[in-house]
Amino acid sequence: MEELKTIAQLNDELTGYSCPADDGTAKILDACIITKVGRYGEYIAGIRLTLTRRLFCDAFRYDSTFRAFSTSSDRKIHAVYVSASGRIGDASPSGKYIVIEFSDPFDDPIEYANHVTYREATRTREASLPITVYIHQPLETCGHEVIAPRSITTTHEECPDIDRFTYSFFEKEGAVEIYRILYVPECYDGTAPIPLIVHFPSGDAAAVNQNGLYTGALYRHPDATIWASDEVQKEHPAIVLSAGRAGGFKLPTRGTYYEAAYVRMINDVLNTYNIDRTRIYSVSLAAGTVNQWNVAEDYPDLFTAFISTTVSPFSAEQMRNDWRSPNAKPTDPEKVLADTAKLISNQPCWLFCGQRDPLGRENPYPNPGGQKNAMASVFTILQERGVAVDLADEEKMWNGLIEGSEQAEAQIQRAAGKPMVTLFQPNTILPNGHACWSSVYLNKRVRDWLFEQKKG
């Protein structure tokens, strides 16, 4: 099996970073920015100081102002603690790391947007500016050596949510290059079959990180990283597959190279790892949903179940017809209804969309009262034609600001095994009516539902 490098390893190679050597004295070796991928993307969560000696947890003063430490960042310090692992939130009685955790001011999506690492103007994840840490008091080690007050500036950055994935070139055709992004859990040894999560990214697959790696599918939203998180893997160990793409964004028309390349990449994973063929799941967001549906329709026996977000069947067909081109083919509303009925009847599925998603505004179907978008209209008509589907619309719509599982459990019970379609109430999908994916994939009950599905 090819030896794959993690994103952390590749970032270090590309920047030439290596941790300074321990010269045998008690000191702070290094300072590192730690980021997380949250609801609206990757942001700086704190700073980790690496020491040559262990400290006890009472090595410095804890108080409401954290006068022992300050930084050059505009972010407020939430907590400072000794850690044996160096991970955010993992305080220990003793350890060789000091973690400076920043407050999380991101209840406001606009404030959050000001702190994410991604830059919309350049479509890149730029390197974070260095942050200087000021230590205002002596630090006494477990061996009673003293580290004098000093300042130290961060030299690199890490994102545990992202760095655990491997990244490798997969194939190229013309100007298009496909990169495989893969997470294999530490517990995997090949002896027992393991589920596979196939993530279909949107245009963010073509966004690069600070070192030129096409990892935008990971740092722009949590819809891929959540499946590889400690929280999910503890209950549902699974291999997670996503992709990066160079060569520009192409609308996901039917039968294109991108669809075929994705299937080849899936098959490569199936042939390399001991995958449980009864538990192959797919998840998507935005235009990635169209590619997901293309694969699900063209390879109906591949996936066990799927979850899709933010694209209505009508807008999906418009994308397939290259709707932005002057030569775009007209979209046939009746064909959309027939194809959708076939898609949802083939395997367990759950489709999500904002009630005012911009991609649902063009609605060619009968629309009493002018309230329904194309998503609601398609499935209302299918219900009227006898297609089994549970539609959470009107008074059953979800509130996207609530991450609790009660809404999900209620619909699962009501659906009783039927395909599910969920719309979100207006003004509860932030920062716009399109981005419902975080409200979906951060909901534990939705994720658990997917893992409960099994062929046979």
Q: What is the CATH number of domain 18-154?
A: 2.60.40.2180
- For residue 88, the model assigns a pLDDT of 94
Which residue is listed with tokens 């979800």? 398
Token reading at 204: 């963010």
- For residue 106, the model assigns a pLDDT of 65
Query: 286: phi > 0 → left, psi -120 to 50 → alpha, else beta; which?
Result: left
Token reading at 195: 């589920």
**What's the full length of the chain, in residues?**
456
- For residue 62, the model assigns a pLDDT of 59
Give the predicted TM-score (pTM) of the model. 0.94
Describe the crossing of helices 288-298 and 333-346 by its angle, rounded to 10 degrees: 70
| 132-135 sheet: strands from edge to edge | 69-71, 132-135, 150-153
Each residue's pLDDT, cut to its tens digit, for the chain (456 residues) gives 568 999 999 999 999 999 889 888 999 999 999 999 998 899 999 999 999 999 998 888 655 555 789 999 988 899 999 999 999 999 999 999 999 999 876 667 777 777 889 888 888 898 999 999 999 989 999 999 999 999 999 999 999 999 999 999 999 988 889 999 999 999 999 999 999 999 999 888 989 999 999 999 999 999 999 999 999 999 999 999 999 988 765 555 566 778 888 999 999 999 999 999 999 999 999 889 999 999 999 999 999 999 999 888 888 888 887 766 777 778 888 999 999 999 999 899 999 998 888 776 667 777 655 557 888 889 999 999 999 999 998 889 999 988 778 999 999 999 999 999 999 998 898 878 888 999 999 999 999 999 999 998
Domain boundaries, given as residue ranges, for the chain: 18-154, 161-452
- For residue 68, the model assigns a pLDDT of 87
CATH superfamily of 161-452: Alpha/Beta hydrolase fold, catalytic domain (3.40.50.1820)
Instruction: Give residues with Cβ within 8 angstroms of 408, minimum separation 6.
Output: 443, 445, 446, 449
Cα distance between residue 163 and residue 186, in whole Å: 14
Query: What is the sign of the dihedral through the CA atoms of 70, 71, 74 and 75?
Result: negative
- For residue 31, the model assigns a pLDDT of 97
Using alpha carbons, select from 402, 392, 453 the residue that is nearest to residue 423.
392
Is the Cβ–Cβ distance between 311 and 290 less than 8 Å? yes
